[in-house]
Amino acid sequence: MVSTAGHCVAERGHTIDHLVFAAGYRGPTLTPLFGTFDVLWSVAPNGWTLQHGDGFDTAFVKVGTRKEAHTDGSTHPGHPVLGQSGPTVSGVAFSATPTGHADAYGYPGAIQSGNVPVRCSDDIQTLYPSVGPHLRVMDGCENFNGGASGGPVVQNINGHRRVTGTVEGYIPSTHEVRVTYWETAARNSWEYAQIH
C-alpha cells in the first residue's frame, strides 16, 4: 500500500489508468532502486473524487509484485525515506497533532530536475480552512513544486515517526508547501484499502 495525492490518481471523477509506482526513483534513465510496480487500484476519499476538496487530496494505491528489479547487482536494505537506510517510519497516524515539526518528502522538478528525493523540514505554521479537513502549511520550502505532490509528510508522534498526510501543493510566491491532514476521511480510505 502506497500513499499519494488524490490528484495523482484521479481527476474530475475519473481515475487515471496504467499507473506505475517507481520505488526509489532516480531519473528517467536509471532503474528505480527498488523496482517498479503496477498500480492495481486506488482509493481516495469521496471528498476528493466527487468534490475535489483540497483538504481531501489524498489517496492510497495497491501495488502488484515487483516487475523490474535494479540491474546493478547491489542490494538495497530499505527506501531512503521510509526504510532502513534512512529515517524509518513506523506507520501512519490519523487525527494526530496537526501542527508542530514535520518533514515533507517529494521529487520537486525545480531541484535536480525532479530526479532525487528532497526533504523539506520545517514547522507547520498554519491551518487553512478548506472543503473537508484542513490543509496545513509549511513555510520556507523553496522550489518544492512540480513533482513533490503525493510525497509523505512525517511527524514524530509519541516517539515514533509516522506519516500524517501527503504533499498537496506548493505556493511559489511564499515558498509554502500545502500538506493534507489525515482525519476521518483519510482513515476510512486507508481502512478500505487494507481489507480489499
Q: How far apart are CA 5 and CA 165, in angstroms?
A: 9
Region 16-23 average pLDDT: 88
Q: How far apart are CA 37 and CA 19, in angstroms?
A: 9
Q: How far apart are CA 104 and CA 85, in angstroms?
A: 18
DSSP for residue 16: P
pLDDT tens for each residue of 91-132:
899 998 888 999 999 999 989 999 989 999 999 877 777 667
Which pLDDT belongs to residue 83? 41
From its phi and psi, is residue 30 left (phi > 0), alpha (psi between -120 and 50) or beta?
Answer: beta
For domain 2-71+188-195, give its CATH number from 2.40.10.10, 2.40.50.140, 1.10.10.10, 3.40.1590.10.
Answer: 2.40.10.10
Nearest CA to 166 out of 150, 147, 145 is that of: 150
What's the pLDDT band for 69 if we cut at 50, 70, 90?
A: low
- Site of grid cell 528532497: 118
Which pLDDT belongs to residue 68? 58
In this structure, what are the phi and psi dihedrals at residue 88, rounded to the nearest 5 degrees? -90, 155
Task: Give the least confident one: 3-17, 78-92, 162-176, 181-195.
Answer: 78-92
99 near 124, Cβ under 8 Å? yes
Domain 100-183, CATH class in plain words: mainly beta
Nearest CA to 154 out of 96, 111, 71 is that of: 96
Kindly calculate the radius of gyration of the chain based on its CA atoms and give it in whole angstroms: 16
- Mean residue pLDDT of the chain comes to 84
Region 29-39 average pLDDT: 89
CATH 2.40.10.10 boundaries in the chain: 2-71+188-195, 100-183
Which pLDDT belongs to residue 13? 65
Nearest CA to 4 out of 31, 28, 23 is that of: 23
78 near 85, Cβ under 8 Å? yes
Q: How far apart are CA 13 and CA 48, in angstroms?
A: 8
Say if residue 61's pLDDT is above 90.
yes
Count Cβ atoms below 10 Å from residue 102 Cβ, excluding itself: 23
